[in-house]
Amino acid sequence: MYDWVLAFGQEVELIWRQRWSLMTVLYLTARYLGIIFAGMNIQMAVQIIPLKDAVSLIMYFALYWMMWVTIGILGVIMIARLHAMYQRSRKVLVLLTVVFMAIGVANIVMLTINMRYISAEQVVLSGTYQCVVSNAQPLRIIPWILAAVWEAFTLCLAVCIALKHFRELRQQSARSIIGDCFTVLMTTHTSYSMSFLVVFCFCLGSFWPTMSKGPYSPEILLYYGFLQTFFIVQSAVLGPRLILGVREYHAKLVIDSDAGPGMTSIAFQERVHVSTGISV
C-alpha cells in the first residue's frame, strides 16, 4: 500500500493515461490483484472479521489461486520483454511459449491435486479462536520448483542477450540509447529475479519437517508472515515495475532534447516506444 501511494502519480501518467493494450491490462491485474491478496491475507491472519471454517477455506482457495494466477501473469510479461529484447524473434517466442505452457499445465495439475489435501480447523491463538488452514500434501513443493525453473530459464535468456549487446556497444565510442535501454531492462529484471529467489528460499524453508511440529507457534507464524510479505513485494511491486520501468525510461527519452524527432522509434511490445536503431 505504501508503494502504491508513492507510485500512484507515476502510474496514472504512464499507465492510465496511455493507450490501453495487453501490457496495460497485465500491469493493472498484477498490481491490484496483489493489493487484494494482501488485504485478504491480513484478514486470514488477524481475523478482523470472525469467519467460519467453510468461509475461511473458501478464502484460502481464493488466495491459493490468486497467487498462482499472478505468477502466470508475470510469466506472460516476461515473455513479452524477452520477445522484444530478442528483436521479435519468432523462434524465441515459440520457445518461451512452449516452455511456459508446459510448466503452466504441469502446475495446474499439481495445484488441483494439492487442493484435496487442504483442510481448516479452529484453534486458540493468543486467547482467541481462529480458523487455521493447513496443507499436508508432500508434493506441494513441486509447483514452486517448476516456477523456479521458469525464472532461471528467463533470467539466462535475458543475461545472454544483454551481454551480447553490451559487447557490441563496447566497440562504439558514442553513448547508445539501446545500451541504456538494456541497462534499464536488466536492472528491473535482476531486482525481480532476486525477489523471487528470496520467496523461493522461504518456500523451501516452509517445507522443512520441523516447521510442521509447531505450526501455530509465534515463530512459525512470523516466518509465514515474512513469506507472504516478500511474495507481495515480488508480485505486486517489482513485477509490475517490469512494465513501469520501461515506460518511465521512454518518458525520459521523450523529454530529453537529445533524442530528436529524427531518431527511429520502435515499440516495446505494447506500444512502449524505445528510440533505437534496431527493429524489435
* pLDDT recorded at residue 183: 80
With CA atoms as reference, report the closest residue to 190 among 248, 234, 249, 228: 234
What's the rounded Cα separation, in Å, for the pair 163 and 182? 10
**pLDDT given for residue 268 in this prediction:** 43
pLDDT in tens, the chain (280 residues): 566 667 777 788 888 888 888 889 999 999 888 888 888 877 776 666 666 666 777 877 888 888 899 999 999 999 999 998 888 899 999 999 999 999 999 999 988 888 777 766 655 555 555 556 666 666 778 899 999 999 999 999 999 988 888 787 776 654 555 557 778 888 889 989 999 999 999 888 877 766 666 556 777 778 888 888 899 889 888 888 888 888 888 777 777 645 444 333 333 444 444 433 333 3
Find out whether 279 and 62 touch, Cβ atoms under 8 Å. no
Q: What are phi and psi of 133, to 5 degrees?
A: -100, 135
pLDDT the model gives residue 279:
32
Measured distance CA(156)–CA(258) in Å, rounded? 33
Distance CA 273, CA 280 (A): 10
Does the reported pTM lie above 0.85? no
User: b/e map of 184-215 (b: 16 or more CB within 10 Å)?
Assistant: bbbebbebbbebbeebbebbeebeeeeeeeee
| pLDDT score for 276 | 39
Per this entry, what is the length of the chain? 280
Alpha-carbon distances of 260 from 98, 158, 199, 257, 263, rounded to whole Å: 40, 29, 43, 6, 6
* CA distances in angstroms from 80 to 14, 125, 224, 225, 244, listed in the order given: 18, 45, 32, 32, 14
In one letter, which amino acid is 257?
S
Alpha-carbon distances, residue 51 vs 18, 126, 153, 155, 242 (angstroms): 41, 17, 41, 42, 37
| Distance, CA of 87 to CA of 64 (rounded, Å) | 36
Nine cell digits for residue 211: 516447521
